[in-house]
Structure 1
Amino acid sequence: MSKQQTTPDGVEFVTVHGKRRAYIKTGSGPALLLLHGLACDRTTWDAVIPLLAKKYTVIAPDLLGHGLSDKPRADYTLGGYANGMRDLMTILGIDKVTVVGHSFGGGVAMQFAYQFPERTQRVMLVSSGGMGPEVSPFIKLIQAPGWEGVMRLLTLPGIRHVETAGLRALASYGGGPLRKYTRDLDEVATIVESWKDRRTRFAIRHLVRAVIDWRGQIVTMSDRAYLTDSMPMAVVWGRDDQVIPVRHASNAAALAPDSTVTVLPESGHFPHRDHPEEFSRLLDEFVTNSEPASYNRAKFRRLLRNGHAAPPPAALVSVGTA
């Protein structure tokens, strides 16, 4: 049972299974589902939504535990998020989508395609998790004992304002060799700001524990990549990504050899924010030039029975010119 609401600023809400979920829905045409990363929200897509909405129906939700969506004691696993997106698409009357996932959202996108191949036309992964174990040590620290207490202190009003102002000042640093380390700090400042909410900290910590341990990322697509045989896939990465190494783009090319992989220069962990026009062009070309996946149960059964084959040699990774 669901109950839908809309606010004057265009954010819509729907209550599913007693939990309120926020999302943006705009434009018309083929459906794109944009999934944000860990500790972010739908606003990470603000620069590309108007560009994409000229040609597509764009749905950008706040995942449960993020943004304006509820932050309950709930299932924060990839499977739980995939189920939530299936429910949202059903309520909106959308049967099939191209799923675009950034960072943790890339893991959700892959899980959605795995659980609901009959509803997935294509997948685009943006600086995605699930391509290898390595991840920034700062994310690993979220599961550390005492993290919540430290964050509670660091997000007190006076301290938080100094931190976020400092991060944004560093993010505006013009150029030079340090630029690749400072480029994403304005986004980090937004994340720190959101952590003033105890419920948000609770949700993020439970989410991280579901997908990361001290050795790095737990969840990987490598054992199920063969199921992408008939699923069009594109991968976009920022060359200066300091959160998930850019070399994971080559892992993606090896695991899904028919995928198109583009590495954008002068870009960090958020290539869709660093180069919105180029990113929108890449996504549009991907949708325009690929046939949507057609789910065939017999073929899916055959792939599962044959199991995992040895990964092929790494495919060529193209470098963008943004």
Structure 2
Amino acid sequence: MTNQPVRLFYRERGQGKPMILIHGFPLDHSIWDAVAEDLSKKARVITPDLRGYGKSPKPEGEYTMRMMADDLIALLDQLGIDKAIMVGHSMGGYITLALAKAYPQRLSGIGFVATQAAADLPERRQARLILVDEIKRKGAQAVVHANLKKYSRNAEVLKYTQELMLKAQPHVLMACLRGMADREDMTDFLKEIAVPSVVIAGEQDDLIPLERTREMVERLQRGWLVTVPNAGHMPMMESPQQVTSALIELLQQT
């Protein structure tokens, strides 16, 4: 078990203002490939694998949102980046909020994609902990069974998402579920975020209700909402051009 930052695997494309695209649970950097390719014509785009995923180290022990934020700060330090635009998808959004609270001086802008600031309601927290027990018995297949259909209504996106879910190691899945269940409520913190912040929401997201994203925008000092029609929880794969456009607008505001 280690609380030290781990050295994350990442891909880098383009040049200009640095923008870090952070994947959600239980995926990897490749969900951003289409967006990153287009964005790299305008910015320096970095897509890391979070601890536990893809080609990054997979330590045992807890994976808190703050710990994963510390990993990203270590990556910025490694790359000589003082300030970056952080774009977090789902769990990546929770990590971005933890980073914004601990390291506000390292941010020049934020993108929140299919995520929320509120902590888990008791029944959602309980569902995560039940899923931890299921993973002990069935491995990654338990996550596919519990969550896959909620990620998208697009068959190709679901197929790819399932492949990524099944690659995830059980100890990592359990550590992240516990970390998300225990994360703090960041709703009140939103009003302290002073940098430009775009909130991108799929209109058909079955995991994050649209009202949650609207609440975020209302509290952010410099926030605006982009809703993506015909997209669920994976708008960067379902409608990459729309997500790219929204992030280019964010880039222009920073």
The alignment's TM-score, normalised by the length of structure 2, stands at 0.86
Residue of structure 2 equivalent to 1:185: 158
Residue of 31, 36, 39 corresponding to 2:18: 31
Structure with larger RCO (C-alpha < 8 A, sep 6+) = 2
Supply the AA of the counterpart residue of 2:43: Y
Tell me which structure has the larger Cα radius of gyration. Answer: 1
The 8 Å contact of residues 132 and 248 in structure 1, kept in 2 or not, is answered as no
One-letter code of the match for 2:187? S
Q: Distance in 1 between matches of 2:91 and 2:42?
A: 26
Q: Give the corresponding residue for 1:208.
A: 177
2:201 corresponding residue in structure 1: 237
1:101/1:135 CA distance change after superposition, 3 Å:
farther
Counterpart selection for 1:226 from 191, 205, 216? 191
**Partner of 1:263 in structure 2?**
227
1:252 aligns with 2:216: yes
Instruction: State the one-letter code of the partner of 1:85.
Output: L
State, as a whole percentage, how many aligned pairs show the same letter: 25
State the match for 1:69 in structure 2: 56
Q: Number of paired residues?
A: 248
Residue by residue over 1:38-58, the C-alpha shift from the partner in whole angstroms, topping out at 9 and shown as x without a partner, is: 111101101111101111111
Using the alignment, how far apart are the partners of 1:122 and 1:129 within structure 2? 17
| Match of residue 140 from structure 1 | 127
Which runs of 5 or more residues in structure 2 are unaligned? Answer: none
Q: Separation in 1 of the partners of 2:123 and 2:92?
A: 16
| Residue identity matched to 1:194 | K
Specify the SS of the correspondent of 2:165. helix
**Contact 1:134–1:244 (CA<8 Å) still a contact in 2?**
no
Q: Give yes or no for the alignment of 1:119 onto 2:89.
A: no
Distance (Å, rounded) in 2 between the aligned partners of 1:109 and 1:267: 22
Deviation at residue 139 of structure 1 after TM alignment = 9.4
Distance 2:125 2:70 in 1: 28
When the two structures are superposed, what TM-score results if normalisation uses the length of structure 1? 0.69
Alpha-carbon spacing, 1:152–1:118, altered in 2? closer, same or farther (3 Å): closer
CA distance in 2, matches of 1:246, 1:185: 21
Unaligned runs of 5+ in 1: 1-15, 172-178, 293-322
* Stretches of 4+ aligned residues off by more than 3 angstroms: 16-20, 131-139, 141-146, 152-155, 179-184
1:244 is displaced (CA, Å) by 1.8
Q: What do the CA deviations read for 1:190-244 (whole angstroms, capped 9, x no partner)? A: 233214xxxx21012112112227xxxx53221312211x221110000111122
Cα separation, partners in 2 of 1:69 and 1:139, compared to 1, 3 Å: farther
User: In the TM superposition, what is the alpha-carbon distance from 1:110 to its structure 2 partner?
Assistant: 1.5
* Alpha-carbon shift at residue 141 of structure 1 (Å): 4.3
Q: For residues 1-322 of structure 1, what are the structure 2 equivalents within 5 Å?
A: 19-131=6-118, 133=120, 140-141=127-128, 143-144=130-131, 146-152=133-139, 154=141, 180=153, 185-195=158-168, 200-212=169-181, 218-228=183-193, 230-256=194-220, 258-288=222-252, 290=253, 292=254
